[in-house]
Structure 1
Amino acid sequence: MDGFNFKGLQKSLTSLGGQITPFATRTFQYTKEQLGQVDDKTQLPPDYIDLEKRVDALKAVHQKMLAVTSQYSHESYDYPPNIKETFQDLGRTVSERVSLLSSATTPAEAQAALTAPSTAKPQPKTFHHAMARAALSGSQTLHQQHTGAGEDPLATALEKYALALERVGEARLAQDAQIQSRFLAGWTTTLNTNISFATRARKAVEKARLTLDAVKARVKGTTWKLPGASSARADHHVDEELSPEAQEEIEKAEDEFVTQTEEAVGVMKNVLESPEPLRNLAELVAAQIEFHKKAHEILCELAPIIDGLQVEQEASYRKSRESAS
């Protein structure tokens, strides 16, 4: 190590700092900061930092909400994982099967109606559709084994329940389609476009800030400090009056930093003040309300029919017991 010239190395590094590419200059400055070699890092305005925090919070909200609500894009999100339905089970809608069954006059015709080949695409795999198919299957099983007069009341009730649940399932699919187009699309656009624009603008600010500090360090001769090296030369350069060229270079970097900061502030404010996320959330709620309202109406239509069948069966049951006694 004898004869090693620290000042000569610093001079070489300082000269090199003026020749390397902007990317390398910024990387060099960033490395110095990470190693604690910078004492006068340019600080961003408090208002700017506050905007960054708010944009980060908005981004986190979008990511978390989309992680959950993206399930509305998957038809079978509520489909029971424990049931095994065949292609034949999914071949026709419940209403189609009921229509075919209504014209059947023998058990064989009824069975043929249940196993008739599909006339359209496979039926939806949703919880409500699965319940409808199970109820209709149960209805037909009871009808086929019924030997008394009239219809089996439970079989009749199950068939009506199946028709109602299929309508509820269709309402759920309509809800999902609305949520996909009116909420998911909007929030995805905000995350991938608007918030991404803000992220790019912030990166431009950081690049301009690193460039500015790198220029300051280079013209003042403080490009790098080696452990144990004397800082006398650096102090000497700090005290010296900067040349017009050096001052002009610093001012140019400062102007770029200010410009990028102002642009980023504008972009972040636009993102934070945009009414789109709240408008999209209102659409999500509206779609959910519409589904639950429709489901409520369908089940309210069904309930008195089921209740009537149940009352009739109880009356018949009491009558048969009285006759038996």
Structure 2
Amino acid sequence: MDKFQAFGKNFSASFTPFAARTQQMLKEQLGQAEDKTQLPPDYIELEKRVDALKQVHQKMLQVTSQYSNEPYDYPSNIRESFNDLGRTVGEKVHLLSSATSPAEAQAALTAPPSAKPQPKTFAHAQARAALSSSAILSADHAGPSGSDPLSTALEKFAVAEEKVGEARLAQDAAIQSRFLAGWSTTLNTNIMFATRARKAVENARLNLDATKARAKGGAGFSLPGQQHKTPMEDDAISEEARAEIEQAEDEFVGQTEEAVGVMKNVLDTPEPLRNLADLIAAQLEYHKKAYEILSELAPVVDQLQVEQEASYRKSREGA
């Protein structure tokens, strides 16, 4: 029986503040609250800034989270088979170089996987399509092996595009670890701590106003149109009630000061800007590598084009 009574007291002690806060909130919503403790303007400004920072993180993460999705630029209309994704372009080029017949070349293109399936990125898909096209031209070309300029250019393009695809994957990995992880932590940990601190302030305010209303005899609330109690004057409040109000005020001030510190820490940390710089650096590195790879390829293909046009003009003149 003693244990039951102790449980009842503990439950009542924890439930009563919650019930008082809920009742105060209802009174405010119904417009029956005589006085509502106002938060300092500086505090309200901090809340607005934290809300803005939260919105920024949610908006940016909604877009940049795609870097965690490998095929974000993989065309939806492509239908590649298991064999298409079995080996890297580099491996297939090596196997094709040793093929002595169309059958061996086809076998090289459809060789069983040597590792995990190849990435589904647009660059990798271009590489696989270009290499397959090169092999088709080589198989149908009647001249010496490697003499078809378009086939040669497509093979070189395939190798280059695979390198571009690998650079894109490296970019994505860097962004995941250096940007997404940081911004997710700020949103789900730091800003959440600020949200909890602000909730504690709101609870303390509601508790303070409920305590004041109860001390003045106006704790109850009524439905719209009904009369409610007229609170007593401040000088009629008992000393015990004044002590409860002072204790609630101290709690409110303490929670407010703590929330201010938490919000300032969230707003002042340089981590989000540092993470954004890392995002830009990863993108810059990727585009730099892609530029270097394609810059090396372009003159080779241009030379093949010049040689083919010269051969074409010569054949036309001879005709």
For 2:216, give the aligned amino acid: K
Contact kept in structure 1, 2:156 and 2:297, CA below 8 Å: yes
Contact kept in structure 1, 2:23 and 2:220, CA below 8 Å: no
Contact kept in structure 1, 2:23 and 2:221, CA below 8 Å: no
Which consecutive residues of structure 2, in runs of 5 or more, have no partner in the other structure? 1-11
Deviation at 1:114, TM superposition (A): 1.1
Pick 1 or 2: higher relative contact order, CA cutoff 8 A, min separation 6: 1
For residue 119 of structure 1, give the secondary structure of its aligned residue in structure 2. coil
Distance 2:157 2:132 in 1: 12
Provide the residue aligned with 1:180 in structure 2.
Answer: 176
Distance 1:95 1:208 in 2: 66
For 2:181, give the aligned amino acid: A
Q: Aligned pair count?
A: 305
Provide the residue aligned with 2:286 in structure 1.
Answer: 291
Choose which of 176, 184, 190 in structure 2 pairs with 1:194.
190
Provide the residue aligned with 1:220 in structure 2.
Answer: 216
Compared with structure 1, are the counterparts of its residues 230 and 126 closer, same or farther at alpha carbon in structure 2 (3 Å cutoff)? closer
For residue 217 of structure 2, give the secondary structure of its aligned residue in structure 1. coil
Structural mapping, 1:37-52, within 5 Å: 37-52=32-47
Distance 1:297 1:167 in 2: 10
Does residue 158 of the first structure (1) align with residue 154 of the second (2)? yes
Deviation readout 1:105-124 (Å, 9 max, x if unpaired): 11121111111111101000
For 2:190, give the aligned amino acid: N
Does residue 312 of the first structure (1) align with residue 307 of the second (2)? yes
For 2:167, give the aligned amino acid: A
**Please, what TM-score do these two structures have when normalized by structure 2?**
0.93
**Please, what TM-score do these two structures have when normalized by structure 1?**
0.91
For 1:241, give the aligned amino acid: A
Alignment root-mean-square deviation, CA:
1.6
Deviation at 1:239, TM superposition (A): 5.0
Deviation at 1:230, TM superposition (A): 6.8
Does residue 99 of the first structure (1) align with residue 97 of the second (2)? no
Contact kept in structure 2, 1:183 and 1:283, CA below 8 Å: yes
Contact kept in structure 2, 1:101 and 1:113, CA below 8 Å: yes
Compared with structure 1, are the counterparts of its residues 46 and 146 closer, same or farther at alpha carbon in structure 2 (3 Å cutoff)? same
Contact kept in structure 2, 1:30 and 1:210, CA below 8 Å: yes
Does residue 142 of the first structure (1) align with residue 137 of the second (2)? yes
Deviation at 1:19, TM superposition (A): 10
Contact kept in structure 2, 1:126 and 1:169, CA below 8 Å: yes
For residue 121 of structure 1, give the secondary structure of its aligned residue in structure 2. coil
Does residue 269 of the first structure (1) align with residue 251 of the second (2)? no
Contact kept in structure 2, 1:37 and 1:224, CA below 8 Å: no
Distance 1:64 1:152 in 2: 50
Does residue 279 of the first structure (1) align with residue 297 of the second (2)? no
Structure 1 vs Structure 2: percent identity of aligned residues?
A: 73
Which consecutive residues of structure 1, in runs of 5 or more, have no partner in the other structure? 1-16
